[in-house]
Amino acid sequence: MLDQRHHFLRVQPFRFRVIKQALRQQRTPFHVAFEERPALPFQTTLAMEARPYQQEALTNWLAEGSAGVVVLPTGAGKTFLAAMAIHETGYWTLAVVPTIDLLQQWRAALAVALSLNIDEIGIFGGGTKDLKPITIITYDSAVLYPHELHHFGLLVFDECHHLPAPTYRQIAEGAFTPLRLGLSATPERGDMAHIDLDDLVGPEIYRRSPAELTEGHFLAQYREERIDIALSPADRERYKEQRRIYRTFLQRRHIVIRSPEEFQQKVIYMSARDAEARAAMLAWREARTIALNTPAKYAEIERLLQRHAEDQVLLFSEYNPVVDEVSRRFCLPSITYKTPAEERQTILERFRAGQYTKLVTGRVLNEGVDVPDCRVAIIVSGNSTKREYIQRLGRVLRPKVGEALLYELVTSDTMEEEMAKRRKA
């Protein structure tokens, strides 16, 4: 694009590699006015031996020009793979993470993996702006401070499925370096924007599923058990009536819902100005609440807690009020988005140390946070996304003696049955 003010061409920084290739092909001389691949000012040493699949992933990444996405399940060592890439390239590295909690977690993990003092790794976010040759930054801070991106020769995107979002994609578009590593357990997005990862990071160059790594004994053997829960007669009637209201609205308006995005566009948005649409939306919500959070589940939770009285158990619910209710009924520690950071850290440390053997939580621990390993997970209620299911399964997959268990409580003859099928599809 021609800059009208200064009469020169402008282009997005992430097109840097393509521009250089084009200039070389045309034999046009050019000069790069910054250090493209700044070398680390210190040596790194990997503290442990890579697993075979980690080495395969790194080899594929290097063969692709050090640009691409690696898909590995939770607990498979994605952070160590990032450390391998840093060690192999030896360049200044910026690791972009989705939450403030992960700043210190990544900092500590990379310090151990690369045999560095933790003070040699900077963090940028949460009120701290400590830029060093290896730095961990949040997605939000990387958007707010794009000028810092040019310091680095390698970009690592943790949970890279966040990157195609309209705001976060500016991070990838605003960086010159072509060396990019994307990491995710489930890169697919409901809006199909994950296709843009090819352009923003690079192609998917390696993928392994939980089942594949379990076969190789890199993750724990696990068993999934679905437990069907029956609605009470009164709740069943309430559920049927709310579903009837919702379906009647769709039929009358000739609306077909094929995805969560279509539901948002055709029902949620319409409900703001259409009384009938609002009634349908509220009916859908009421039916969903009945299905996912029926009181009959509490009796089953009690039975499972008695069965696994000696085990470390994580309980997940889609709804924070249910987390609070499970916590209250069974006197269990809980973590939601409302839990203060210091209290959350204390609870996790006590769970890790075995002082607490049970913990109930909502979505806040789905992604990224280093939850202490346990043998049993119970999904009290969940949504239909495969990402959430894989993340929750990953909480019990780290290698251990004995079999890991994942229980799903599913309300029979309701929308929850279909949701359970979709998240495993």
- Cβ atoms of residues 294 and 301 within 8 Å: no
* Spatial distance between the Cα atoms of 107 and 124, rounded to a whole number of angstroms: 11
Contacts for 53 with CB less than 8 Å, ≥ 6 apart: 72, 76, 206, 208, 213, 216, 218
Token digits of residue 372: 């202490």
Question: How many Cβ atoms are within 10 Å of 370's Cβ, its own excluded?
Answer: 16
- Tokens 């040493």 found at: 45
How much is the pLDDT for 164? 93
CATH 3.40.50.300 fits 222-230+294-424, yes or no: yes
The beta-strand segments (E) located in 11-97 are 67-71, 93-97
Residue 78 has what pLDDT? 92
CB 83 within 8 A of CB 113: yes
Domain boundaries, the chain: 12-209, 222-230+294-424, 233-292
Say whether 222-230+294-424 and 12-209 share the same fold.
Answer: yes
How far is it, in rounded angstroms, from Cα 412 to Cα 311? 28
d(CA 197, CA 207): 15
| Residue 365 confidence (pLDDT) | 62
What pLDDT is recorded for position 424? 61
H/E stretch holding 237 reads helix 233-253
CA 164 to chain centroid: 13
Rounded CA separation 67/411 (Å) = 44
Which of helix, strand or coil describes residue 178? Answer: coil
- Whole-number Å distance between alpha carbons of 16 and 91: 18
Q: At CB < 8 A and 24+ separation, what contacts does 56-63 make? A: 56/206, 57/81, 57/205, 57/206, 58/84, 58/85, 58/88, 60/205, 60/206, 61/85, 61/181, 61/205, 61/206, 62/88, 63/205
- 315, β-bridge pairs: 360, 378
Strands 67-71 and 134-138: unpaired
298-319 exposure pattern, b = at least 16 Cβ within 10 A, e = fewer: bebbeebbeebeeebbbbbbbb
The pLDDT score that the predictor gives to residue 339 is 85
Query: Distance between CA 263 and CA 119 in Å, rounded?
Result: 48
Report in angstroms the alpha-carbon separations of 315 from 109, 284, 401, 419.
Answer: 26, 25, 21, 18
pLDDT mean by block of 10 residues, the chain; 425 residues: 59 69 75 78 94 96 95 88 97 93 90 96 91 96 89 94 92 88 87 88 92 73 85 94 94 85 85 91 92 89 93 86 92 88 85 89 63 76 63 59 80 85 64
C-alpha Rg value of the chain to the nearest Å: 24
Tell me the backbone φ, ψ of residue 156, rounded to 5 degrees.
Answer: -120, 125
- The secondary structure of residue 42, as a DSSP letter, is S
Supply the pLDDT for residue 100: 83
Which amino acid is present at 396?
V
Residue matched to tokens 């707010």: 144
pTM: 0.74
∠ CA 112-154-104, nearest 5°, is 35
Between CA 120 and CA 107 the distance in angstroms is 9
- Judged by DSSP in three states, 325 sits in helix
Smallest Cα–Cα separation from 382: which of 323, 304, 309?
323
Q: What is the CATH number of domain 12-209?
A: 3.40.50.300
Beta bridge partners of 183: 70, 158
Burial 20-55 (b: 16+ CB within 10 A, else e): eeeeeeeeeeeeeeeeeebebeeebeeeeebbebbe
